[in-house]
Amino acid sequence: MSRIDVRELTRPSDVGDPAAWDALNARGPASISGSRRWLTAAFATTHRDATPVLFAAEAAGRLVGLLPLALHDKKTFPTLRFAGAPHNDLNDVLAAPGYERTATAAIVSALGDVAGRGWSLTLDDIDPQGHLASVRDGGVLEWAGAGVAPTVDLRGPWAAAASGPRRRQWNRRLRRLRDRHAVEWRRIDGAAMLDELPRFVTLREARRQATRREPDQPPTAFFAAVVRELAPIKACAFMEMLVDGSPVASDLYLLDRPSALMWLRALDPDFQSYPCGHLLLRATAEAFASEGYESLDLGRGDEPYKFVFGAEPRELLRARLRWDVQRVQEVAQSPPTGASDNRTGRIRA
């Protein structure tokens, strides 16, 4: 195996040949959140005040691994996070086949150097079966759980996971709806997504106002930019339930075979008496299973409806620099003298 060298880059364009970046992979859908297109959307919208910091692993001059991060709060409390976070549902290092562990280990080793600059590192929502998780035995990072993100195995008996009474209730409600309206299912991908995007935004906002929720995350500007980036390569799609030709339920999926991630959802509050979200999810799972997808990723959160469809809980991971964690513990255990960190001029927390 060739020696792995790690370069720290401050512009995505410094990675070099875009095709080399595109050839790197993680388990889906983490490849999407580490892609050039995702970074373009992030730094054009929610990361306008952040600085790109990319750790590129190379073997004999060939790109074999990449960890794209963003440096936030550079003047006050500089912190490295995944580019696009906190709006990414799954994150990991990207790697070339055969270099998954070696490239990742080299990048993690390089991360240890940033503590000397007074930077913190917070990596959330890491794939527990991914490349980063495979090097947890190193001494650079401290690991902890980061919440649940359930997944449905489309190769298993997911269709029978819901109880018989619940499935019969769905069917009765669907028949009742069809007695009064025309009901159909639709998938929109490619360039047509750009025409559908304003309607999706309007539907999400209508539900937010009806439920009096706080403004949705991620911001509209970010997910709209993601759609504009991913739609041309069909790495995303809208799955919709239509009533009389208009969507009453619409889900935005990120597509990274063999996984499909339900990233965002929009529901018409005027049809809340019908289980439109459940009906759409059932139809979507059937469609993706027929196309050979193996996993339906339902994203972060342990909402009960996810387990109705036979989803299995998956505990995501969080990583921080071990130096950061030790320093926080030292501060917590020391008397409140107001003493500052000798290296950074402030108490780290």
What tens digit of pLDDT does each residue of 287-299 get?
999 999 999 999 9
Q: The tokens of 136 are what? A: 């947890």
SS3 292: coil
Is the distance from CB of 252 to CB of 263 less than 8 angstroms? yes
Instruction: Output the pLDDT for position 334.
Output: 54
Cα separation, 140 vs 116, in Å, equals 13
pLDDT value of residue 324: 62
Q: Is the pLDDT of residue 339 over 60?
A: no
Say yes or no to pLDDT of 106 above 90.
yes
How do strand 151-153 and strand 295-297 relate by DSSP bridges? antiparallel
Query: Angle formed by the axes of helices 36-44 and 220-230, to 10°?
Result: 150
pLDDT interval class at 214 (50, 70, 90): confident
> What's the pTM value of the predicted model, to 2 decimals?
0.89
Q: Which residue has the higher pLDDT, 40 or 136?
A: 40
pLDDT band at residue 1 using 50, 70 and 90 as cut-offs: low
| Exposure string for 193-228, b = 16+ CB within 10 A, e = fewer | beebbeebeebbeebeeeeeeeebebeeebbbbbbb
Q: Measured between alpha carbons, how far apart are the two ends of the chain, in Å?
A: 40
Specify the residue for token string 């991908």: 189
Long-range contacts of 264-271 (CB under 8 A, 24+ apart): 264/204, 264/218, 264/223, 265/204, 266/200, 266/203, 266/204, 266/207, 267/203, 267/207, 268/203, 268/206, 268/207, 269/206, 269/207, 269/210, 269/211, 271/243
Nearest CA among 105, 84, 104 for reference residue 35: 84
CA distance linking residue 60 with residue 50, whole number of Å: 31
